[in-house]
């Protein structure tokens, strides 16, 4: 018992001195190319996800909407536009999360589109070659989002699903963008470039972000050198052909406006 409490105390001290090593680790469940091919089954529970982070994005079992995690709460943005808080038993097929700790903060009060803001944020990143998490809160002149509708097995590939995805444009809204910029070399595993999800402050809407125009925003950036990837423990994944370059398909799925 004494030994246990001493080692706990040591861990706590190390945590305090180093700023807690785990807080700089990006955890990822499954690969983006597996998701593209229809790996929408249960891989990790919300309870387990909370051990890996308090902030992030992903989707739900059966591809049932867009996932946004903020302050340890998991929000589901369904294809009917409704928002739900999901409990610990909820299953997730794809997610990227971390314990968010801002390395830098910026305030921007220009009207910037997604492309323009991306360029501006790029100038503040220490490098293109790390993983960067973002929480961007404030007011937006507009935000265009989408969500994905729940699927039933046998699951179709994501490119088929997004052909019927609902999109929304919110005007003059307050809310938060949460997400990551992953390096180009993460191609095939995550989404290279900016990938953000949106949640309105009044929880009346959100989704995977296609475009926006900012008004007054406050940006928090958390850069990480550590990336932990857990691949699916499924026959579907083990038998999947992952040799093909799916960049064009991914661009259609993630970025088409």
Contacting residues toward Zn ion, per CB under 5 A = 208
Q: How far is the CB of 66 from Zn ion (least distance, A)?
A: 6
Nearer to Zn ion, 176 or 208 (CB): 208
CB contact at 8 A, 60 and 93: yes
Nearer to Zn ion, 208 or 246 (CB): 208
Q: Which residues contact 232 (CB under 8 A, 6 or more apart)?
A: 30, 34, 39, 41, 43, 93
Nearer to Zn ion, 103 or 249 (CB): 249
Q: How far is the CB of 70 from Zn ion (least distance, A)?
A: 15
Q: Which helix (H) or strand (E) holds 49?
A: helix 46-52
**β 55-59/94-98 pair status:** antiparallel
Q: What three-state secondary structure class fits 28?
A: strand
- The tokens of 13 are what? 């001290």
Q: Which helix (H) or strand (E) holds 32?
A: helix 32-36
Nearer to Zn ion, 121 or 148 (CB): 148
Q: How far is the CB of 195 from Zn ion (least distance, A)?
A: 6
Residue nearest to Zn ion (CB): 208
Give dist(CA 74, CA 174) in Å, integer.
19
Nearer to Zn ion, 181 or 208 (CB): 208
Q: Which residues contact 58 (CB under 8 A, 6 or more apart)?
A: 29, 67, 69, 92, 93, 94, 95, 96, 97
**154 prior amide bond cis, ω within 30:** yes
Q: How far is the CB of 208 from Zn ion (least distance, A)?
A: 4
Nearer to Zn ion, 206 or 232 (CB): 206
Q: How far is the CB of 133 from Zn ion (least distance, A)?
A: 14
Q: How far is the CB of 179 from Zn ion (least distance, A)?
A: 7
């Amino acid at each position: 018992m004494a030994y246990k409490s001493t080692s706990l105390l040591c861990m706590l001290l190390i945590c305090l001195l180093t700023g807690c090593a785990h807080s700089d680790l990006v955890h990822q469940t499954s690969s983006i190319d597996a998701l593209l091919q229809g790996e929408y089954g249960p891989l990790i529970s919300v309870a387990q996800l909370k051990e890996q982070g308090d902030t992030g994005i992903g989707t739900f079992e059966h591809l049932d909407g867009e996932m946004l995690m903020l302050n340890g709460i998991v929000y589901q943005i369904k294809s009917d536009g409704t928002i739900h808080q999901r409990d610990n038993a909820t299953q997730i097929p794809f997610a990227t999360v971390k314990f968010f700790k801002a390395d830098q903060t910026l305030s921007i009060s220009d009207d910037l589109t997604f492309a323009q803001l991306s360029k501006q944020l790029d100038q503040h990143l220490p490098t293109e070659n790390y993983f960067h998490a973002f929480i961007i809160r404030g007011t937006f002149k507009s935000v265009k989002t989408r969500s994905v509708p729940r699927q039933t097995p046998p699951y179709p590939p994501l490119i088929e699903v997004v052909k019927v995805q609902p999109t929304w444009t919110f005007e003059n809204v307050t809310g938060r963008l949460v997400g990551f910029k992953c390096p180009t070399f993460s191609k095939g595993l995550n989404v290279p470039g900016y990938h953000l999800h949106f949640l309105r402050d009044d929880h009346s809407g959100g989704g995977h972000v296609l475009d926006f125009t900012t008004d007054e925003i406050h940006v928090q950036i958390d850069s990480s050198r550590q990336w932990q990837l857990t691949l699916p423990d499924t026959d579907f994944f083990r038998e999947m052909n992952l040799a093909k370059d799916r960049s064009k398909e991914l661009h259609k799925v993630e970025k088409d406006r």
